[in-house]
Amino acid sequence: MFPGNCPTVECLEPAVLGVETVLELTAPQRQRTVYRLDGGASTDDKLRWLLQRGYQVVAKGFSGRRAFNLGQQVTRWDRFSQDAWLGSVASPVDYGKPVQIIVKRWRHQDTWKHSFYVTTLKLPSKTAFLTYYNLRGGAEIEQFREDKAGLYLAARRKRSFPAQKALVRLTDLAHNLLADFRYRGLAGSPFADWGLKRIVRDLLEMPGRLYFEGSELKRIDLLATHPYAKELLVCLERYAATPFQE
């Protein structure tokens, strides 16, 4: 663990060496290990160092100016999403091993924005690459930011430390339950890509009534005139019918 004021680029080498020591990674194992990095750690020197140690990389480039310049060299743009396109160019840097450079551009307030990515993996397409990159860990978005917005963690404060500690733990429990509900109940529905804030605000605050027999929930009625009531009932039925996974 590193202090919060330590830049990612300074944490990379000691963190990688620490993982090597703990896991006792051999050279063949390092060749099968992929580091997915955001722009804060992907300087040319750090990428070259990882490749020299035998690792594979899927990394976002460090330099915004270089991303813009590489974007001017792209001769063909392929659509990635409604407002983003991908292109490929030759690497402007010798990393010591063959790499693929992919450039992304998107429209923002009537101007083009650019980012670029470096990978040693051989993936079937540029879209497959960026999809793979987007699967990297995102706790700062998935948990911290969503908990602050959706579960109002930043707005709730207790005067005593034990009470605040209990509140944080209850928020963690709520986060896990909502994550499970989104994964098992909302998958394949119009709400599948909703964040916690919207789930809490637009779905869980829907007027309705719960009917119990003892401690067992038997029936759920939702306000029929609510625009999401019909789809949410389908999700709730599916969620109630699937057991928790160990």
pTM beyond cutoff 0.75 = no
Q: Greater confidence, 207 or 142?
A: 207
Q: Alpha-carbon distance 117 to 37, whole Å? A: 10
154 or 144: which carries more pLDDT confidence? 154
Domain boundaries, the chain: 8-133, 139-241
Measured over all CA atoms, what is the biggest interatomic distance in the chain, rounded to whole angstroms? 69
**Distance from C-alpha of 31 to C-alpha of 53, rounded to nearest angstrom:** 9
Mean pLDDT of 223-234: 92
Q: What is the pLDDT of residue 51?
A: 95
Summarize pLDDT for 156-175 with one digit per residue, the tens: 677 888 888 888 888 888 88
pLDDT tens figures, 91-123: 999 999 999 999 999 988 888 999 999 999 998
Per-residue pLDDT band at 140 (split at 50, 70, 90): low
pLDDT in tens, 28-83: 999 999 999 888 888 999 999 999 999 999 999 988 889 999 999 999 999 988 78
Instruction: Give the distance from CA 27 to its chain's centroid.
Output: 29
Rounded to a whole number of angstroms, the distance between the first and last alpha carbons of the chain is 29
Query: Tens digit of pLDDT for each residue in 183-217?
Result: 889 988 999 888 888 888 889 899 999 899 988 88
